[in-house]
Amino acid sequence: MRTFVHTSHPARVVFGSGTVDRLAEEVRRLDGKRVLLVSGPGLEDAALRVRDALGDLVIAEFDGAAMHTPVEVTERALTVLREADADCLVSVGGGSTTGLSKALALRTDLPQVVVPTTYAGSEVTPVLGETRDGRKTTQASPAILPETVVYDVDLTLSLPLAMSVTSGVNAMAHAVEALYSPDADPVTDRQALDAISRIARALPRLAADPADHEARADLLQGAWLAGTCLATVGMALHHKLCHTLGGGFDLPHAETHTVILPHVLAYNAPTAPDVLRRIAEALDVPDAASGLYDLVASLGGPTSLRELGMPESGLAEAAEAAVATPYPNPRELTVEGVEELLTDAWNGRRPK
């Protein structure tokens, strides 16, 4: 018999095509009358679409969201928010924009409506990572969790294929680690397997036809399910390594997840054979680690830490940092074992 505790976070999710047109109604549901619209560089078209949908509800805008949520940026946005006397946050963008919205909500307790345009999954988690003086710290609080998420497939159509691949694998990583988490339960298992298979099936379809609306819908739905897993259960070696590499060596977020995931699967394979078998089935390949590596390679995605700018001299330090504090992982964590994993990932070797 399996023993478990399942917690669901209280978020409202609206999913579909053209759902941005329901934003004003969603803001009013939260008693919002004065919206601060939050976005970031490169999101001008999406922000325009959201502004049009919200009309007079928007009283101020901040379009300076940056990767890893620097506190200086949050403070500038907070000044805009206070001067405008905003009573609701609406953000549109990827994990960086969502991070800024969460940082503002944490400081003001304003309700948030988040419109995600990547597959990072942050919109459904009560977790915030912020950077101060180059150091990233993470905290969790119910005040951080967005009240409403509006997924509009139309706003994801502009995400370039390369970013769709890396962001899709970023989502897949949440689902993979949820499956072998000690906190896993029957709900997260089903969500995780569905997310993995949706993302794995959608990415090649998107590569064949970048305008494939159904493939985009599968990716976004997979991202929601995977993000929900991330919010519900603890993560393991993969997330620890990506956090260490992103924070310590300034490597790009989704790309780092994409390179590392096949190698973590290979590392954990000997001690979690049943989970790895289920992941392989969801991916529709004989072996999860090499199958995922081949999928990424076939889509032109990054396969080595070297191409992301990781210095080879930093691998030992990263391995030590990743095992410095204990956390649950299917296979025992040793500095030598993790350094070997990182060396394989640095060289871009196909896992055996």
Site of interaction with ligand NAD (CB under 6 A): 40-43, 67-68, 93-97, 99, 117-118, 120-122, 125, 127-129, 155-156, 158-159, 163, 167, 230, 253-254
Cβ proximity to ligand NAD: between 146 and 262 the closer is 146
In angstroms, the CA 135 to CA 248 distance is 8
Cβ proximity to ligand NAD: between 230 and 237 the closer is 230
Q: Closest approach of Cβ 226 to ligand NAD, in Å?
A: 10
Cβ proximity to ligand NAD: between 102 and 263 the closer is 102
By beta carbon distance, the residue nearest ligand NAD is 95
Q: Closest approach of Cβ 45 to ligand NAD, in Å?
A: 8
Instruction: Choose among 261, 196, 260, 183: nearest CA to 223.
Output: 196
Based on C-alpha coordinates, what's the Rg of the chain? 20
Cβ proximity to ligand NAD: between 198 and 257 the closer is 257
| Cβ-contact 66, 40 below 8 angstroms | yes
In angstroms, the CA 54 to CA 114 distance is 13
Report the amino acid identity of residue 290.
S
Q: Closest approach of Cβ 3 to ligand NAD, in Å?
A: 27
Cβ proximity to ligand NAD: between 145 and 179 the closer is 145
Q: Closest approach of Cβ 109 to ligand NAD, in Å?
A: 18
Q: Closest approach of Cβ 300 to ligand NAD, in Å?
A: 17
Cβ proximity to ligand NAD: between 27 and 114 the closer is 114
In angstroms, the CA 52 to CA 6 distance is 39
Q: Closest approach of Cβ 85 to ligand NAD, in Å?
A: 27
Write out the H or E segment, with its range, that includes residue 101: helix 95-108
In angstroms, the CA 216 to CA 220 distance is 6
Residue where the block lists tokens 């390179």:
259
| Residues forming a β-bridge with 88 | 35
Three-state SS for 217? helix
* N-term to C-term CA, the chain: 34
| Residues forming a β-bridge with 137 | 130
Q: Closest approach of Cβ 98 to ligand NAD, in Å?
A: 7
In angstroms, the CA 33 to CA 57 distance is 6
Residue where the block lists tokens 């500095």:
335
In angstroms, the CA 84 to CA 36 distance is 8
Q: Closest approach of Cβ 237 to ligand NAD, in Å?
A: 17
Cβ proximity to ligand NAD: between 117 and 268 the closer is 117
Cβ proximity to ligand NAD: between 61 and 281 the closer is 61
Three-state SS for 36? strand
